[in-house]
A and B are shown apart, each in its own frame.
Chain A
Amino acid sequence: MIKCPENELIVIEKGELLSKCMEMKVNGLRFSQACAAFYEGNYELSYSFADDETYEYKTLRLVAGLDEEIPSITQIIPTAVFYENEMAEMYGVKIQMISLDYKNKLYRINEEAPLLPKDAKAKNAEEDAGGKA
């Protein structure tokens, strides 16, 4: 029986995302999940990798501003496609170059970024409008 190792959280910068994902893949870890959360005005993006022999669970944590563009990891980990589409659709995370982009139609929800709090959504919309102007 394996004694369950505790989860490991590794905080990374945006520029490290692809190289860290590649490192996990090269080390033989299985991509387990990715998800977004909104916390204290920022996105918290989590990319989790599992070691199927030792049951270690490593999560890359990327904190990003609401208007930041995040590179897609689907070129390295193709199975991340549904997770990234979910992050984009549910929280409005701006993910660039998803290999199969459902364009916010994965879950067919009429509301834009339904899990993002309303005030954050309004701020995001303001910034988008400002950027376009």
Chain B
Amino acid sequence: MGNISVVPFGPQHPVLPEPIHLDLVIEDEKVIEAVPSIGFVHRGLESLIAKKDYNEMVYVAERTCGICSFGHGMGYVEAVEKIMNIEIPDRARYLRTIWMELSRMHSHLLWLGLLADAFGYESLFYHCWRIREQVLDMIEESTGGRVIFSVNKVGGVMKDMDAAMLARFSEKLGEVEDQVIAVRKNFLYDKTVQLRLRGVGVLTKQQAHDLGCAGPFGRASGIATDMRTRGYGAYGDLEFEPITSNEGDSFARCQCRIDEILQSIDLIRQAMGMIPDGDLFVPVKGNPNGEYFMRIEQPRGEAVYYVKGSGKPYLNRLRIRTPTFANLPGLCETLKGADYADVPILILTIDPCISCTER
């Protein structure tokens, strides 16, 4: 038996600016156990149901995260709409879907840049973020915001995209697609990248299932689950299949996310081609009375929005189960047996969002 020691990782680390702490039990250079600690910046957003009514809570839900803010707003309003039996206009469904996919693109591009930076490819990091900037520009042009969009409301959406804007975005997406394909080559065929990612942190399909892994983290291990196939928003009208891999290693997680960017471009194009004219929202009367578990596919995976109301403006309960929260047990499992030097990469491959987790 080698020397066993406990090495702290975080809550501040150059690779991951967000606060998570891991006690890594190390035998020589191998990790044999990892115990996570969170809660350094818990914000108690869910407790605001006592002070904000269900309409105001849309803005609170959006502030769960600065990357997947749109999805949090969408998941919350769709849960409330289910409880209140509200059918939103078709145009609103399509607009939500387009913004959701733009969010996924910028989230995955952000992650790709961070991954490139983690394994020492700074120029690739800048390249990814330069592409991401163009996606953010489209979001800003259509919503007025780059971090918090505030376009969702119970009953529909508050902003529209006219035909000229959709045509501009379609052209822009073509440019973004070419750039993503170029970057994809670097990530998937560069020898150094492969050396850092191939065979590192392997999680089998059975392990991923047992550990409750969500999103690209689970799909990279062969779990073909994607909440978008449930058909919320306009996804029920669009053609796509979940992107999966059977390798289950860090490389597979990277590959799934890159391919999901291209899939998002395809979904936006489909949605742009099918978006109907019409109203943006329907008037909403009354208060939610009932409960619902809404599940949507955030960039990091399945997010669950539990909403319970009893006919009053103030909800009884809002609970947001974020994908990172679900992926923590999977992360700890991938760390077991890993080289100490691979720990930062492995943590990044679940695309952790501590802001979401500390909602």
Contacts and interface: CB of A to CB of B under 8 A. Distances in A.
Interface stretch (A10-18, A64-72, A108-116, A121-129): A108-116
Interface string B284-321: 00000000110100000010101010100000110101
B212 interface: yes
Contact of A52 (B209, B211, B321): B209
Given A55-B229, A57-B295, A114-B44, A106 B326 contact: no
A129 B51 CA distance: 31
A78 B212 CA distance: 10
A46 B306 contact: yes
B276 interface: no
Nearest to B291: A9
B46 interface: yes
Contacts of A7: 292-293
A4 interface: yes
A82 B321 contact: no
B230 A106 contact: no
Interface stretch (B34-42, B107-115, B150-158, B176-184): B34-42
Interface in B306-345: 306, 308, 310, 316-317, 319, 321, 325-326, 328-329
A35 B308 CA distance: 12
Given A31-B212, A82-B328, 15 more contacts: A1-B231, A1-B236, A4-B232, A32-B295, A33-B306, A35-B306, A37-B317, A38-B316, A39-B317, A79-B210, A79-B212, A108-B40, A109-B39, A109-B42, A109-B44
Interface string A55-89: 10101000000000000000000110110000000
A57 B79 CA distance: 14
B304 A48 contact: yes
A22 to B, nearest CB: 14
28 contacts: A1-B229, A1-B231, A2-B230, A3-B236, A4-B230, A7-B293, A32-B295, A32-B304, A32-B321, A33-B319, A33-B321, A35-B317, A35-B319, A37-B306, A37-B319, A38-B317, A39-B308, A39-B310, A48-B293, A50-B302, A55-B230, A57-B295, A79-B212, A106-B38, A107-B38, A109-B44, A114-B44, A114-B47
A48 B326 CA distance: 12
Nearest to A31: B212
B64 interface: no
B264 interface: no
Nearest to A86: B325
Which 5 A/B pairs are nearest by Cβ-Cβ distance?
A107-B39, A37-B317, A108-B39, A4-B230, A33-B321
B23 to A, nearest CB: 12
Given A82-B328, A108-B40, A57 B293 contact: yes
